[in-house]
Amino acid sequence: MSDAAGAPALEKSTVLVRQRMRCRSCRGGWRQLAAAAAFKGVLACLLCGPGAAAHAGGALTLYALEWAPYSWQAASGGNVGGIAVDIADELMRRAGVRIDSIDTVPWARGLALTAATADTCQLMVGRTPEREKRFKWIGPIGHSRWMFFGLRDSKIALRQLHDARPYLVGTIIDDLSVPIFNANKIRVSEVAADRLNPPKLLRRRIDLWASAELPARYLMRDLGLTDIEPLLTFATIPMFVACNTSMRDGEVARLNGIINAMIADKSIERIYHAYGFRSAAPAMPERQRHAP
C-alpha cells in the first residue's frame, strides 16, 4: 500500500554550501573519541567558574549526518551544506555564537560525541523519549515522516506497524526507529550509513528499508533507483538540534526563543523553499513542538 500521497514536491535543489573546517580527529574510532572528549569536558568544567560562558570561547562544534537534503559534505571535501546547516548558520548568527566547525560523521558517532563533549550539538535529531535526557533540545527545525520502503515486485502489504514482524528491516545504527521496532518485536539489521540500505534491499538481504521520507527520496533519486516504493508511514517525529547537557538552561531557552522567531518570520520556511520543498518547513501546531 503506497503512502506517497502528500509527499513534498522535489525540485532541482539550490545548493547552498558553507566552507567548514574538517575535523581531523573524526578519522579515528568513535569510542576513543568519545572517551577523550569526555575527559576534555570534565577538565574544562574543573577550570570553569560559576560565571563561565555557556560555550568555551563562545564557540560550538556541530555534527551532521550525510543526510541530504538536510546535511551533506560536497564530494570535493570541506564543504558542508543543506537545510539543517543553513538553519544552524542563521540561528547562531542571530545568537552571536561562533560555529567552530560543522563536521559530517556517522550517525552513532555524532550522537556519542555530542553526548560526551561540552560545546557540541548534533543537527536534525529526532526528539524521542529514549533520547530526552541525553541532550538539551533546540527546535523544532523540522519534522520528518519515517516510512517503510520495499521493492515494487515484493508484494509486501503493510497496513500497520506490526505487519512488518515477519520481515527483516534495514535501518541505521542508533536510529530512532530501532526502539520502536524492538518494542514491536520487529527484526532489525543496522548499518553505519543509510546509503548502504537500498543496495541491501535490491539484493534482498533485507526485506524492508526504514528511513525518513525526504532523505530516502533524495537517496533513491541520487542512486537512480526506480524499483523501490514507500509502503507505510509508521512515525512522524519533530526534529531538533540536540546539544550536550552542559549547555545552561538559560542558553537553551535563549536559542529556542530565536528558533521561535525564525519560524514566526518565515526564515526557516524560506530555507526549506530554497532547497525545493514547499511543505516540509516546521510551521507546526503546538503539539508537535514537544517530544512525543
- Render pLDDT for 173-206 as a digit per residue (tens, 0 to 9): 999 999 999 999 999 999 999 999 999 999 999 9
Q: Are residues 129 and 244 in the same domain?
A: yes
3-state secondary structure of 237: strand
CA distances from 100 to 56, 160, 163, 243 (A): 11, 44, 46, 15
Which has the closest alpha carbon to 114: 240, 276, 253, 264? 240
Q: Are residues 131 and 258 in the same domain?
A: yes
3-state secondary structure of 252: helix
- Do residues 135 and 114 touch, judged by C-beta distance below 8 A? yes
Give the three cell numbers for residue 150: 520495499
Looking at the chain, list the stretches that DSSP marks H as alpha helix, in order from N- to C-terminal side: 30-47, 83-95, 107-116, 177-183, 197-202, 213-223, 249-264, 267-274
- Do residues 272 and 10 touch, judged by C-beta distance below 8 A? no
Q: Are residues 133 and 157 in the same domain?
A: no
- The residue whose grid cell reads 560545546 is 119
Q: Are residues 211 and 246 in the same domain?
A: no
Strands 136-151, 98-104: parallel, antiparallel or unpaired by DSSP?
unpaired
- Domain range for 267 is 17-143+238-289
- Render pLDDT for 59-93 as a digit per residue (tens, 0 to 9): 999 999 999 999 998 877 678 999 999 999 999 99
Q: Are residues 255 and 117 in the same domain?
A: yes
Confidence of residue 49 (pLDDT cuts 50, 70, 90): very low
At residue 96's C-alpha, the angle toward residues 131 and 254, to 5°, is 45
C-alpha 128: how far from chain center: 12
Where b means 16+ CB within 10 Å and e means fewer, 201-210 reads beeeebbbbb
Query: If you count them, how many residues does the chain have?
Result: 292
Confidence of residue 44 (pLDDT cuts 50, 70, 90): very low
Sheet holding 59-64, edge to edge: 98-104, 59-64, 120-126, 228-243, 136-151, 208-212, 168-172, 187-191
CA–CA separation, 90 and 83 (whole Å): 11
Q: Choose one of 211, 236, 261: the last residue of a domain.
A: 236
- Render pLDDT for 264-278 as a digit per residue (tens, 0 to 9): 999 999 999 998 876
Q: Are residues 88 and 43 in the same domain?
A: yes
In percent, the amount of the chain with pLDDT more than 70 equals: 75
- Do residues 231 and 208 touch, judged by C-beta distance below 8 A? yes
- Render pLDDT for 131-156 as a digit per residue (tens, 0 to 9): 999 999 999 999 999 999 999 999 99
- The residue whose grid cell reads 573524526 is 26
CA–CA separation, 24 and 40 (whole Å): 16
CA–CA separation, 111 and 56 (whole Å): 20
Q: Are residues 96 and 210 in the same domain?
A: no
Give domain status of residue 12, yes or no: no
Q: Are residues 132 and 222 in the same domain?
A: no
User: pTM, whole model, 2 decimals?
Assistant: 0.78
- Domains held by the chain: number: 2
Give domain status of residue 242, yes or no: yes
Give domain status of residue 2, yes or no: no
Q: Are residues 137 and 266 in the same domain?
A: yes
103 has a pLDDT exceeding 80: yes
